[in-house]
Structure 1
Amino acid sequence: MSCCVSCCASLTCGLCSSVASGISQKSARIGYCGLFGASLILSWILREVGAPLLEKLPWIDSSDAQTKEWYQIQAVLRVSLGNCLFFSILALIMIGVKDQNDRRDSWHHGGWTVKMVIWLLLVILSFFLPDVIILAYGFISKFGAGFFLLIQVILLLDFTHTWNDAWVAKDEQKWYIALLAVSITCYIGAYVLSGILFIWFDPSGYDCGLNVFFLIMTMILAFVFAVIALHPQVNGSLLPASVISLYCAYVCYTGLSSEPHDYECNGLNKSRAVSTGTLVLGMLTTVLSVLYSAVRAGSSTALLASPPSSPKSGGNKPLLEAELEEGKSKKGEEKESKPVSYSYSFFHLIFALASMYSAMLLSGWTSTSDSSDLIDVGWTSVWVRIGTEWATAGLYIWTLLAPFLFPDREFA
Structure 2
Amino acid sequence: MEKIPWINHFYVTPDREWFETDAVLRVSLGNFLFFSILSLLMVGVKNQKDPRDSLHHGGWMMKVICWCLLIILMFFLPNGVISFYESTSKFGSGLFLLVQVVLLLDFVHTWNDKWVGYDEQFWYAALLVVSLVCYVATFLFSGLLFHFFTPSGQDCGLNTFFIVMILILVFLFAVITLHPTVSGSILPASVISFYCMYLCYSGLASEPRDYACNGLHKHSKAVSTGTLTIGLFTTVLSVVYSAVRAGSSTTLLSPPSSPRAGGEKPLLPLDKRDEHEEKEKNKPVTYSYSFFHIIFSLASMYSAMLLTGWSTSVGESGRLVDVGWPSVWVRMITAWATAGLFIWSMVAPHLFPDREF
Q: Please classify the TM superposition score into its range, dividing by the shorter chain length.
A: 0.7 to 0.9
Let me know the Cα RMSD of the aligned residues: 2.8
Alpha carbons 1:363, 1:376 under 8 Å: kept: no
1:276 to 2:225 alignment = yes
Greater CA drift, 288-297 or 124-133:
124-133
Over 3 Å counting, the alpha-carbon distance change for 1:222 and 1:310 in structure 2 is: farther
1:88 matched to which residue of 2?
36
- 1:208-239: CA deviation from partner (whole Å, max 9, x where unpaired): 22222222222221111000111011242211
Q: Which amino acid aligns with 1:402?
A: A
Could you tell me how far apart the structure 2 residues matched to 1:376 and 1:354 are? Answer: 22
Could you tell me how far apart the structure 1 residues matched to 2:232 and 2:209 are? Answer: 21
1:402 to 2:345 alignment = no
Alpha carbons 1:307, 1:342 under 8 Å: kept: no
Could you tell me how far apart the structure 2 residues matched to 1:66 and 1:401 are? Answer: 57
2:238 matched to which residue of 1?
289
- The TM-score normalised by the length of structure 2 is 0.85
Alpha carbons 1:296, 1:305 under 8 Å: kept: no
Could you tell me how far apart the structure 1 residues matched to 2:88 and 2:332 are? Answer: 21
Could you tell me how far apart the structure 1 residues matched to 2:321 and 2:307 are? Answer: 6
5 Å-filtered alignment, 1:68-147, equals: 68=15, 71-147=19-95
Alpha carbons 2:224, 2:309 under 8 Å: kept: no
5 Å-filtered alignment, 1:289-368, equals: 289-297=238-246, 298-302=248-252, 304-305=253-254, 308-309=257-258, 334-336=277-279, 337-365=282-310, 367-368=312-313
Could you tell me how far apart the structure 2 residues matched to 1:143 and 1:386 are? Answer: 12
Could you tell me how far apart the structure 1 residues matched to 2:86 and 2:258 are? Answer: 36
Alpha carbons 1:364, 1:381 under 8 Å: kept: no
1:259 to 2:214 alignment = no
Over 3 Å counting, the alpha-carbon distance change for 1:129 and 1:92 in structure 2 is: same
5 Å-filtered alignment, 1:14-53, equals: 53=1
How far 1:305 moved relative to its partner? 4.2
1:234 matched to which residue of 2?
182
Helix, strand or coil: the match of 1:260?
A: coil
Over 3 Å counting, the alpha-carbon distance change for 1:251 and 1:171 in structure 2 is: same
1:390 matched to which residue of 2?
336
Helix, strand or coil: the match of 1:335?
A: helix
Could you tell me how far apart the structure 2 residues matched to 1:172 and 1:157 are? Answer: 24
Aligned positions, number = 337
- The TM-score normalised by the length of structure 1 is 0.74
Which of 1 and 2 has higher RCO (CA within 8 Å, sep 6+)?
Answer: 2
Q: Percent identity?
A: 62
Greater CA drift, 114-123 or 193-202:
193-202
Could you tell me how far apart the structure 1 residues matched to 2:153 and 2:260 are? Answer: 61
1:63 to 2:10 alignment = yes
1:44 matched to which residue of 2?
none
2:115 matched to which residue of 1?
167
- 1:220-271: CA deviation from partner (whole Å, max 9, x where unpaired): 2111100011101124221110000010111111112222223232222222
How far 1:143 moved relative to its partner? 3.2
Over 3 Å counting, the alpha-carbon distance change for 1:305 and 1:338 in structure 2 is: closer
User: Which runs of no fewer than 5 residues in structure 1 stay unpaired?
Assistant: 1-52, 313-331
Over 3 Å counting, the alpha-carbon distance change for 1:82 and 1:57 in structure 2 is: same
User: Which runs of no fewer than 5 residues in structure 2 stay unpaired?
Assistant: 262-274
How far 1:74 moved relative to its partner? 2.9
How far 1:311 moved relative to its partner? 6.4
Q: Which amino acid aligns with 2:137?
A: G
Could you tell me how far apart the structure 1 residues matched to 2:331 and 2:111 are? Answer: 25
Alpha carbons 1:186, 1:242 under 8 Å: kept: yes
Greater CA drift, 281-290 or 64-73:
64-73
Alpha carbons 1:364, 1:377 under 8 Å: kept: yes
Helix, strand or coil: the match of 1:340?
A: coil
- 1:126-173: CA deviation from partner (whole Å, max 9, x where unpaired): 111233333333343333222222211111111111111122222222
Could you tell me how far apart the structure 2 residues matched to 1:376 and 1:119 are? Answer: 31
Could you tell me how far apart the structure 1 residues matched to 2:146 and 2:111 are? Answer: 31
Q: Which amino acid aligns with 1:351?
A: F
Q: Which amino acid aligns with 1:157?
A: L
Helix, strand or coil: the match of 2:278?
A: coil
Helix, strand or coil: the match of 1:334?
A: helix
Over 3 Å counting, the alpha-carbon distance change for 1:375 and 1:72 in structure 2 is: farther
Could you tell me how far apart the structure 2 residues matched to 1:161 and 1:376 are? Answer: 38
Alpha carbons 2:228, 2:306 under 8 Å: kept: yes
Over 3 Å counting, the alpha-carbon distance change for 1:310 and 1:235 in structure 2 is: farther
Q: Which amino acid aligns with 1:274?
A: V
Greater CA drift, 103-112 or 267-276:
103-112
Over 3 Å counting, the alpha-carbon distance change for 1:373 and 1:160 in structure 2 is: farther
- 1:287-314: CA deviation from partner (whole Å, max 9, x where unpaired): 2111111111131342x345642669xx
Helix, strand or coil: the match of 2:168?
A: helix
Could you tell me how far apart the structure 2 residues matched to 1:222 and 1:210 are? Answer: 19
Greater CA drift, 149-158 or 60-69:
60-69
Helix, strand or coil: the match of 2:277?
A: coil
Q: Which amino acid aligns with 1:385?
A: R
Q: Which amino acid aligns with 1:381?
A: S
Could you tell me how far apart the structure 2 residues matched to 1:139 and 1:206 are? Answer: 31
